[in-house]
Amino acid sequence: MADSKKIAMISGITGQDGGYLAKFLLEKNYRVLGLYRRGATDTFSKLKEHGIFEQIELLDFDLLELSNICRLLKKHQPDEFYNLAAQSFVAASWEEPIYTAQADGMGVLYILEAIREFSPKTRFYQASTSEMFGKVQEIPQTEKTPFYPRSPYGVAKLMAHWACVNYSESFNVFACSGILFNHESPMRGKEFVTRKITSHFARIYTGKTGEPLELGNLNSKRDWGYAGDYVEMMWKMLQHTTPDTYVISTGETHSIREFVEEAGKHCGFDLQWQGSEDSETGTDKKTGKVVVKVNPKFYRPAEVDVLIGNPEKAKKVLGWNAKVDFKSLCRMMMLADIEREKK
């Protein structure tokens, strides 16, 4: 019966994680209320590709509109609220630092206030991020590693993270913070480096372009997992007896260069690197063609050089393990983009 179903609200329903989480919760028989920002450039294509578009009740939502957030919480009294909405592109946060602070920092405070006032039983999940570790103070990073954000995005997310801890300690709000390291999938936006690589390589592979892929810093390292694995953790956190903070990661790190090489293998590229720094290129040995080159335009004002998380706490307390490894992730994303281009 519809009435006995648990209600989950997901903000950021049109994004990569929104789609995977909605699918996961629908399979668990939740009623899913999908919150989306009217006028967002993104469409519902991901939900349609997951085959769940019809099962989600869509509601207007804006992180900057406190009155709207209060009304939604008051009316629907959700059992769980997953805040996946954000200005999530780190590079853009230097161009839009104030908007990023408002949406990614203040917006979370608005939701917490609305929960506190109008729906105190709602359990809240906040999408925190490894960007909060920024210039890392310890390797690998754990829940206890001191934070040192390196972007307006990281700074805003840090405020939101502490707001969760504070509301949980001050007002007994069940607020959890998932410090998720980079997580990717074939549904990833093309502005992020992994999908930028696989979508462009797929176009070269299928003969749709002869232009090389242009990238920024090839040497930064990330702990990349699979988004489909990570959404389960969001849910597990909210089922636990007490609210807490968890690092979610694979425990492995790889450079952008390694991702390029690994993805390239599935297109038959055997890459040879030439030149250095700003003028570096990657040539396919078999064809002699340059398939990737550095463009300093994509460098960031301050870089996060290396991220690697220690997921021990999540494993121990919540019994969670990342299932998809780096090579399988590259393969999955590369093959999905080749299939898309063929169609």
43 catalytic? Reply is no
In whole angstroms, how close is the CB of 294 to ligand F7E at the nearest point? 8
In whole angstroms, how close is the CB of 130 to ligand F7E at the nearest point? 5
In whole angstroms, how close is the CB of 15 to ligand F7E at the nearest point? 10
Spatial CB neighbours of 265, under 8 Å, sequence gap ≥ 6: none
Q: Report the alpha-carbon distance of residue 260 to residue 247 in Å, rounded.
A: 26
Residues that bind ligand F7E (CB under 6 A): 88, 90-91, 129-131, 181-182, 191-193, 196, 215-217, 220, 222, 256, 298, 300, 303-304
Taking alpha carbons only, the member of 18, 102, 15, 33 closest to residue 66 is 102
Q: Choosing from 82, 153, 167, 230, which is the catalytic residue?
A: 153
The length of the chain is 343
Using left for φ > 0, alpha for ψ between -120 and 50, and beta otherwise, residue 30 falls in beta
Phi/psi for 183 (5° steps) reads -140, 135
In whole angstroms, how close is the CB of 70 to ligand F7E at the nearest point? 26
131 catalytic? Reply is yes
> Which segments of the chain does DSSP mark as H helices, in order?
16-27, 45-50, 66-76, 97-100, 107-118, 152-171, 193-205, 227-239, 256-265, 312-318, 326-342
Q: Choosing from 80, 113, 131, 258, which is the catalytic residue?
A: 131
In the bound state with ligand F7E, the residue whose beta carbon lies nearer, of 102 and 220, is 220
Q: Which residues participate in catalysis according to the annotation?
A: 129, 131, 153
